[in-house]
Amino acid sequence: MHLSHEPDAPPAELIGFDDFLKVDIRVGTILTAEPYPEARKPAYKLLIDFGPAIGKRKSSAQITENYSVNDLPGRQVAAVINFPPRQIGKFLSEVLTLGFADGQGAVTLFSPDKPVPNGARLF
């Protein structure tokens, strides 16, 4: 299945609620952000705190067009925490930080509009 980032793409195939529950999406607070110049596509290396039960996890995020590294620490973001870690160059990305493509195709982070506890699960 190919997922498109285009706003006019047709919806994905129907899934059951149990399938949705398999994807563990949690909120965390970015602790640190640093450039990742070795990545093939411009990206940042993030360290995100998901609270005491999950802990701190690393993520490579292609968000350089809409954010500077100085904008990110302290910001809450949503991430899939139960995908297998993925090697991005020399960096092991442990979670998939979530976002939407803006009108120019650059990623805009997905985050709660009010503070919530780190580790809270999306439902």
Inter-residue contact 118 to 73 (CB < 8 Å): no
* Residue extents of the structural domains in the chain: 17-109
Is 57 in a helix, a strand, or coil?
Answer: strand
Query: What's the whole-model pTM score?
Result: 0.91
67-79 mean pLDDT: 98
Classify domain 17-109 by CATH architecture.
Beta Barrel (2.40)
pLDDT at 1: 46
pLDDT (tens digit, 9 = 90+) per residue, 15-55? 999 999 999 999 999 999 999 998 889 999 999 999 999 99
**The pLDDT of residue 87 is above 90:** yes
Other CB atoms within 10 Å distance of the CB of residue 117: 10
Radius of gyration of the chain (CA): 15
